[in-house]
A = this chain, B = another copy of it.
Amino acid sequence: MSIKNLSYKQTEITGGFWRDRQEINKNATIYAVRDRFKETGRFDAFKCDWEEGKPKKPHFFWDSDVAKWMESVAYITYHGRNAELEKEVDDLVDLIEKNQDENGYFNIYFTVVAPEDRFTVRDAHELYCAGHLIEAAVAYYEATGKDKFLNLMKKYADYIEKVFKIEESAEFLTPGHEEIELALVKLYRCTGEKRYLELSKFFIDQRGARPDKEELMIYNQSHMPVRQQRTAEGHSVRACYLYSCMADIAAEYDDAELKTALDSIFENIVNKRMYITAGIGSSHHGEAFTIDYDLPNPNAYAETCAAISLAMFAGRMNAVSPHGRYGDIVERVLYNGFLSGLSLDGRSFFYENPLEIVRADRTRNVSWGAKEHFPLTRRQAVFDCSCCPPNITRFIASIADYICTLDEDKNILYLNQYMESSSGFTLGGAEVEISQKTDYPWDGRIEIAVKGMKNKTLALRIPAWSDKYEITGAEAKLTNGYAYIDVASDDFSVTLQLDISPFFIESNPKVNANAGRVALQAGPIVYCLEEVDNGPNLRDITISTEPDFKTVWNDELGVAAIEAKAFRTKPCEELYKKATFEKVEITAKFIPYFAFANRDDCDMLVWTRLQ
């Protein structure tokens, strides 16, 4: 395995767009999530003293909620220790130690609510919780050097290996919600103990292959052995957690069958089943992938966690075989369907990320008590099923994971994401440093300085959306979405200029929901119209084919807004009339999709009509 993604540990975000967001994450989000989790009893649950009749009965996924929060603390701590947060984690770890079984087992729900049901209910998130605890333990060890949590989780992982792999004594064979698979890879990479990797591969190999042990179902991707799968199916977060681990295993074992499956699945997602915002899982039924080209906008599910899981999957694919398309998708997630999940102040969250809000539609059947499902229009501080908030905070804290990929055989440094940052690592025996200076994505200019890479190759991802780009300071050859540059000296610098001017995107005509509509994008950012800027009835707006775009900085939101020449239908009294197509010229005001719903509760639209 000569190709690997550089981790957040080797890269610090030093400024710009993501530094701002990491600051908000560090100063607001991590505390907001903690406070909500404390209020809802999720922290106290680790005391394992809940009894029937008491309030705040632990849910079987609560361990994972807090584990992701602990993992985020680790990432935040890595670049600057924080005694208050560490104390919180240490206290939780002490509780885990206290309440862990002799054999290593730890799970709150199956200790205080249903201890007799351990490892009997496949979909009860036991191994999912274990996976998140393992990820947290690894991160906390790497951030702080404290190994107590890691050792507790190694013991748990050993027990899981015994029960599931050695003895096969559990009542199911593979997790109902994937997660532990990729956690075990991290545990292996942290500890060097290969049996954790092998246990991960065991779960991958068994999935969908053992009708004697468990129900083979599409919901959790066990409808067939994973190597035979070619399309993205079922619950979308489960799916991309699985595909992420399949990518890890494919890279670790150079597994051709897995690669074939992954290539096909990735293709299926990004060319058939993904919103322009990189949201996936279009239906709230099963929070699932549905069918090709089925991407309805007002009732898009597009869970924030699913967007994160797609970035995880795409990012890991670079370690299988680097290609610009993976960074393109990670980028589409980062600036759109992921970031929309978080309010600008970092304190509230979307679980679902619709691409259109028409509030009136929600009132139509209210008189009849109809329970139609629509995404919320306002972000919430916490949810009953609150997987997204801690996932958001850990993702932002570790976002530097997605910047660089190294090919150590070929001495290539792939630069996947453009963020003001500084990385240090060894490549081909040399100490290398790379720094980016940029105001991306508000500006297309990225200044890159590299030290210690003489005679090695720097590959800069050229986003598929950037028709024009300019590289100053070096010759470059574009292949597979990267501009390859031979680095001529150990103190080398190059400037990449991407074209971030606004442009329209059209969907494949098979996407029924977007027929006759375009999305506006500038750089990696997808834009939307909000009622607060454009008045009601956004669907009536048609953008001019000569839109005369003006980019205008919006101080309130801290984003680049875009104004475009557009039209509205001339108002009339009649319900129907002979078509006259009388229009009134207006200025349509777009803001980045990720910034929607940060002002008044109002309608919103991504896919607009074009004149």
A572 touches B504 (CB 8 A): no
A575 touches B515 (CB 8 A): no
- Of the residues B505, B537, B573, contact of A578 by C-beta under 8 Å: B505
B367 touches A218 (CB 8 A): yes
A283 touches B368 (CB 8 A): yes
Q: For residue A599, which residues in chain B have a CB less than 8 angstroms away from its CB? A: none
Flag A262-293 by CB within 8 Å of B: 1 or 0 each.
Answer: 00000000111010100000110110101101
Q: For residue A361, which residues in chain B have a CB less than 8 angstroms away from its CB? A: 294, 296, 512
B363 touches A291 (CB 8 A): yes
B578 touches A467 (CB 8 A): yes
B294 touches A575 (CB 8 A): no
Given contacts A270-B575, A291-B360, A364-B290, whether A509 and B569 have CB atoms under 8 Å apart is yes
- Of the residues B271, B368, B518, contact of A579 by C-beta under 8 Å: B518
Q: Which residue of B lies closest to A536 (CB)?
A: B510
Assembly CA distance A467 to B578 (angstroms): 9
Q: For residue A228, which residues in chain B have a CB less than 8 angstroms away from its CB? A: none
A512 touches B360 (CB 8 A): yes
Assembly CA distance A581 to B579 (angstroms): 23
Q: Which residue of B lies closest to A273 (CB)?
A: B575
A511 at the interface (CB under 8 A from B): yes
A192 at the interface (CB under 8 A from B): no
B283 touches A507 (CB 8 A): no
B276 touches A568 (CB 8 A): no
**Which residues of A come within 8 Å of B, CB atoms?**
218-219, 270-272, 274, 276, 282-283, 285-286, 288, 290-291, 293-294, 296, 358, 360-361, 363-365, 367-370, 465, 467, 503-512, 515-516, 518-519, 537, 539-540, 542, 568-569, 571-581, 609-610
Show 23 A/B contacts (Cβ-Cβ < 8 Å), sorted by A.
Answer: A271-B575, A274-B575, A283-B365, A285-B369, A286-B367, A286-B368, A288-B368, A290-B364, A291-B364, A358-B512, A505-B578, A506-B576, A506-B580, A506-B581, A507-B576, A508-B575, A509-B568, A510-B540, A515-B609, A516-B516, A516-B542, A516-B609, A519-B576
Task: List 18 additional A-B contacts (Cβ < 8 Å) besides A291-B364, A294-B364, A506-B581.
Answer: A219-B368, A271-B575, A272-B575, A290-B365, A294-B361, A358-B512, A360-B512, A465-B578, A503-B578, A504-B578, A506-B569, A506-B578, A506-B580, A511-B575, A512-B537, A515-B539, A515-B609, A581-B610
